[in-house]
Copies of this chain bind each other. A is one copy, B any other.
Amino acid sequence: MIGYGFMGATHSQAWRTAPRVFDLPRGVEMAVIVGRDAEAVEAARAKWGWAEAATDWREVVARDDIDVIDIVTPGSSHAEIAIAALEAGKHVLCEKPLANTVAEAEVMAAAARAARERGVRSMLGFTYRRVPALTHARDLIAAGRIGTVQQVRAAYRQDWLVDPKAPLSWRLQKDLAGSGALGDIGGHAVDLVQFLTGQRVTRVTGVLETIVRQRPVETERSGIAGVGGDELGDVTVDDLAIFTGRLDSGVLASFEATRFATGRKNELRVEVSGTEGAIAFDLEDLNVLWLYDRTAPATEQGFARVIVTEPGHPYLEGWWPAGHMLGYEHGFSHQVKDLVDAIAAGSDPEPGFDEGLHGQRVLDAVERSAARDAAWTAVDDD
């Protein structure tokens, strides 16, 4: 595993847990954790239970005893590491976003396609696909349970920037973060809509906004995390993105990604409306799928609160008895399961880098639309 931030913790938990709850076709060994700061990475190794710590990812990628490279570094380094790993014949699990730029994503996708010819697998870490309620929703939609999809909405809302005095962290600077709410959480919304509908966004019209344009600079002297001084610096990424996309089928999907939804901690709402029913979901209540069935008797129709922890629900075979709630991290264990299953089966795990590239292009088209007075803009697929 390359990287050791928050995502390093969740991925470690997943690598540690998946083999213990699922019957995996291959054994899992948590071999090496890699980071530039030797002391910090050793601390992470000891805490999270990796066998070795290392500071040079190139050496690790070159080792014969390593089969899978899990990349949880910031997006700017994804391309270099992933391409090297794929060329070295390692299966790659890469955290989202695939890359910070479309250009990098294109090279990565090409490398993944080439590696695939040699039986090397690559997977992009959109774990929300593996929240059981959402996997279940996808299955129901694919089975025609809500009929023909006619409208889609997705919104990802957080509130950690509501305070205008919150400091100018690295996530608010374009050169470091690449993108703001659009890339960070809007990317999840796009991926989910495409996952649930099985369709792709082909054109977009959108607006990007930086609600608070200057924030206190974080100074080392302040000594207190999250507290800046008097100096103000520019926020150079969006903190609100509102856009509408057209899917292959012609259906419209509306999107919102915001860090200013006061009181919404991690609200990812998706609703898919069809001719025969609808599904609705909110990540703040992640074990629940709301299902509306237009084929029920007219006087009995209503959104049903399906608690997705029952026998027959996706991934539940590994966990606790019916009615015992799962949390955020379980999607990561499901991701490990599906990756190991795919490697063993010689099949491609989903989503692959091509899907990641497409998602990246959708976000790029939103940026271009926003720069063109919100004009409809084609997603630039090959």
A residues neighboring B (CB under 8 Å): 6, 9-10, 12-13, 16-17, 20-21, 47-49, 136, 140, 145-146, 150-151, 153, 158-160, 162-164, 205, 207, 209, 211-212, 240, 242, 244, 251-252, 254, 256, 258, 260-263, 265-266, 271, 273-275, 277-278, 280, 283-294, 296, 298-307, 309-313, 320-330, 373-376
Whether A262 contacts B160 by the Cβ 8 Å rule is: no
Instruction: Please pick, from B151, B278, B305, B329, the residue contacting A303 in the complex, using a CB distance under 8 A.
Output: B305
Closest to A283 in B: B325
* Besides the known contacts A162-B273, A286-B325, 12 further A-B residue pairs in the complex with CB atoms under 8 A apart: A9-B320, A136-B299, A163-B275, A242-B254, A244-B374, A260-B273, A261-B278, A262-B273, A266-B322, A283-B325, A325-B328, A374-B376
CB contacts (< 8 Å) of A6 on chain B: these are: 320-321
Whether A300 contacts B309 by the Cβ 8 Å rule is: no
CB contacts (< 8 Å) of A273 on chain B: these are: 159, 162, 260-263
CB contacts (< 8 Å) of A271 on chain B: these are: 261
The oligomer's copy count stands at: 4
Whether A13 contacts B9 by the Cβ 8 Å rule is: no
Whether B323 contacts A275 by the Cβ 8 Å rule is: no
Which of A17, A158, A325 counts the most chain B CB atoms within 10 A? A325
Shortest beta-carbon distance, A378 to chain B, in Å? 12
Bound together, the chains give a CA A205 to CA B206 distance in angstroms of 9
Shortest beta-carbon distance, A235 to chain B, in Å? 13
CB contacts (< 8 Å) of A307 on chain B: these are: 265, 284, 302
Bound together, the chains give a CA A322 to CA B294 distance in angstroms of 15
CB contacts (< 8 Å) of A145 on chain B: these are: 300
Bound together, the chains give a CA A123 to CA B306 distance in angstroms of 36
Shortest beta-carbon distance, A10 to chain B, in Å? 7
CB contacts (< 8 Å) of A330 on chain B: these are: 327
Shortest beta-carbon distance, A185 to chain B, in Å? 11
Whether B265 contacts A309 by the Cβ 8 Å rule is: yes
Whether A291 contacts B300 by the Cβ 8 Å rule is: yes
Shortest beta-carbon distance, A63 to chain B, in Å? 24
- 8 A-B residue contacts at CB 8 Å? A6-B320, A20-B48, A151-B211, A162-B275, A242-B244, A262-B277, A326-B328, A327-B327
Whether B299 contacts A302 by the Cβ 8 Å rule is: no
CB contacts (< 8 Å) of A375 on chain B: these are: 373-375
Whether B306 contacts A300 by the Cβ 8 Å rule is: yes
Which of A251, A305, A321 counts the most chain B CB atoms within 10 A? A305
CB contacts (< 8 Å) of A322 on chain B: these are: 160, 265-266
CB contacts (< 8 Å) of A292 on chain B: these are: 262-263
Closest to A256 in B: B254
Q: Which 9 A-B pairs have the closest CB atoms?
A: A266-B323, A265-B323, A327-B327, A263-B292, A302-B306, A302-B304, A262-B278, A324-B328, A205-B374
Bound together, the chains give a CA A194 to CA B242 distance in angstroms of 19
Whether A302 contacts B13 by the Cβ 8 Å rule is: no
CB contacts (< 8 Å) of A265 on chain B: these are: 307, 309-310, 322-323
Bound together, the chains give a CA A150 to CA B160 distance in angstroms of 13
CB contacts (< 8 Å) of A296 on chain B: these are: 293, 304
Bound together, the chains give a CA A47 to CA B293 distance in angstroms of 37
Bound together, the chains give a CA A28 to CA B302 distance in angstroms of 37
Closest to A47 in B: B20
Closest to A254 in B: B242
CB contacts (< 8 Å) of A299 on chain B: these are: 136, 306, 310, 312-313
Closest to A164 in B: B275
